Amino acid sequence: MTQGFFISFEGGEGAGKSTQIRRLAERLQAAGHDVVVTREPGGSPGAEAIRELLVNGAADRWSPVTETLLMYAARRDHVERVIRPALARGAVVLCDRFADSTRAYQGAGGDAPASLIASLEDHVLSGTVPDLTLILDLPAEIGLERAEARGGAARFESKGLAFHERLRAGYLEIARREPERCVVIEANADIDAVTAAISRTVDQRLER
Ligand SMILES: Nc1ncnc2c1ncn2[C@@H]1O[C@H](COP(=O)(O)OP(=O)(O)OP(=O)(O)O)[C@@H](O)[C@H]1O
Ligand SMILES: [Mg+2]
């Protein structure tokens, strides 16, 4: 069976994940790859229904542990129905947020225990983890300004600057612990410079 390549994009609000995924998808498609673009929370019909519960409403609508469980219910459906089938047929999967978002938002940003999150990763993902994770890093206030300018104050954007600073530190800690999988991309740069850095990294990894 062929095996595809799984890339996740991570980082705080307004870091440029969606912008950069669109650009990378076009470039890889032009090079002849079968590319699947997807996102979390969501990415399958069931997970998109759960997404509505997660991204709307008051900031304190869910506790971090409840949020973690909803995220993992959505993630399991997405992995089973979209990501695994795509990888099995040899596609390059570009996922806008994945498991590291739970570690960062509910773990570092909230107070969901790292042991709970690690156990869910182990039992729920059962080996479906990214081959490469691009962490788009920029100061929290700049990301929030970008997201605000784009419009639509979503639930996580309303959690305040201190939350988003813990989030950023959480992502950098993930990259420090898993340097093989994770590459930190300087996202406080112009859009083309970020695209160029991502292209270099992805081409290197796809050639391996
Ligand atoms: N390098 C950049 N410099 C300046 N503006 C940027 C840059 N990258 C993206 N933007 C703009 O910032 C806004 C947020 O970008 P984008 O939606 O790609 O971020 P995101 O990481 O997907 O955010 P979210 O987590 O909220 O979905 C958009 O209006 C986009 O055009
Ligand atoms: Mg986005």
pLDDT per residue as tens digits for the range 3-36:
899 999 999 999 999 999 999 999 999 999 999 9
Average pLDDT on 101-124 reads: 97
CA-nearest of 147, 142, 130, 144 to 181 is 130
Contact status, residue 39 vs residue 94, Cβ threshold 8 Å: no
Chain-wide mean pLDDT for the chain?
95
Ligand 1, pocket residues at CB < 6 Å: 11, 13-19, 146-147, 150, 189-191, 194
Q: Which fold has domain 5-207?
A: Rossmann fold (3.40.50)
**CA-nearest residue, atom 29 of ligand 1:** 150
Domain boundaries, the chain: 5-207
Counting ligands in written order, which one lies closest to the CA of residue 154? 1
Question: From ligand 2's centre to the CA of 101, what distance in Å?
Answer: 12
CB 83 within 8 A of CB 76: no
Task: Please give the number of the atom of ligand 1 that sits closest to the Cα of 136.
Answer: 21
Q: What phi and psi, each to the nearest 5 degrees, are found at residue 35?
A: -115, 130
Tens of pLDDT, residue by residue over 58-69, are 989 999 999 999
Lowest mean pLDDT among 63-77, 137-151, 188-202: 137-151
